[in-house]
Amino acid sequence: MKSLRSARFLALSLIAVLVVAFGLMCVQQACGTLAAVGVFVGFNLMFAPKVSHVFGAAATAARNTDTRPGDLVYLPVAATTTIYAGTLVARDANGRAVPASDTAGLRVVGRAEETVDNAAGAAGDLSINIRLGCFKFDNSATAAVDADDIGKMAVVEDDQTVAETSTNGVSAGRITGVDSDGVWVDTRFAFYGPKAVPTLTSTNGTMAASANDAATVAEGEKIGDDVRALHASFFG
C-alpha cells in the first residue's frame, strides 16, 4: 500500500513538473493567460494537501475538513429587519434571523453578537452572528418566571423578555436561574430541542371512559393532533 501511494505521488509530481514547464514555455511565448493557468495548476498539484476532491462520493484519502465554534450560528437577516446586539434572536420559517417574539413558527437561536440594520434591505442582504449559550434576559411583568420554574422551559415575550407562559409558547430555552433583575436561560435547549411548548388537547383517561365509538375516535384525533404538534416542535 505504501509503495502504491509513493508511485501515485511520483506520478502526480511528474505531471505537475510538466504542467509548470508548459506554463513557463507559454510565458516565453508571451501567452500571458495560458501561462498563468499552467503555472497555477502546476503549483496546486505540487503543493496542495493530499486530499480527496471527489464530490458526492466516499473519501478515498485524508481530507482537510473546515471547522468553526459549535456555539456560533451565522444566519441571513430577514427583509426590513433590525436586530440589536445582546437581544434574543430567532429563526423564521425561511431560515432567516429575526428578533425573537411570541410568533408561532419561530425557533429561538441565541444572543445577537452584533447589531445588524437591514431595515432597508432585502432578505439575506446582511447576515448576523448569533451565540448559543446561557444568558440573562428580563423577566415578564405579567407572567413572571419564579424560582420553582428552574429546570423548565421559559417562553418568549419579546426579544429581551422571557415568561412562564405566552400565547404561542415559543421556547426561549431552559431556565437555569432566577435573579431579581432577570432570568438565566440556556438557549441551546430551544435551538436543539422543541421550538415551542405545545398545549396538549387530549386528556388522560378520556378514551378509556368513552361511551361510544364516536367519542373514542374524537379523542384519538386529539391524540394524533398532539403527536403532530410535538413532532413539529422538535423537527420543524
pLDDT, one tens digit per residue, over 128-186 is 999 999 999 999 999 999 999 999 999 999 999 999 999 999 999 999 999 999 999 99
State whether 125 and 167 are in the same domain. no
For residue 169, CA distances in Å to 18, 42, 53, 173 come to 66, 59, 46, 11
Structural domain contains residue 59? no
Across the chain, mean pLDDT equals 82
Query: For the chain, what is the largest distance between any 2 Cα atoms, rounded to a whole number of angstroms?
Result: 96
pLDDT value of position 215: 77
pLDDT surpassing 90 at residue 229 = no
Structural domain contains residue 226? yes
Structural domain contains residue 148? yes
pLDDT value of position 38: 47
Residue with cell 436561574: 177
Structural domain contains residue 16? yes
Structural domain contains residue 163? yes
State whether 183 and 142 are in the same domain. yes
State whether 81 and 123 are in the same domain. yes
Average the pLDDT over each of 9-13, 36-40, 71-75 and give the range with the smallest value. 36-40
**Nearest in space to 42 (alpha carbons), one of 23, 64, 63, 27:** 23
- Domains in the chain, number: 4
CA separation for the pair 167, 199 (Å, rounded): 10
Q: What is the pTM of this model?
A: 0.69
pLDDT surpassing 90 at residue 228 = no
Average the pLDDT over each of 30-39, 90-99, 132-141 and give the range with the smallest value. 30-39
**Structural domain of 35:** 2-47
pLDDT value of position 54: 55
Structural domain contains residue 124? yes
State whether 113 and 77 are in the same domain. yes
Structural domain contains residue 9? yes
State whether 84 and 127 are in the same domain. yes
Most confident of the ranges 14-18, 94-98, 192-196: 94-98
State whether 146 and 157 are in the same domain. yes
Structural domain contains residue 61? no
Cα dihedral sign, 37-39-41-44: negative
Which of 131, 161, 177 corresponds to the end of one domain?
Answer: 131
Most confident of the ranges 13-22, 48-57, 149-158, 190-199: 149-158
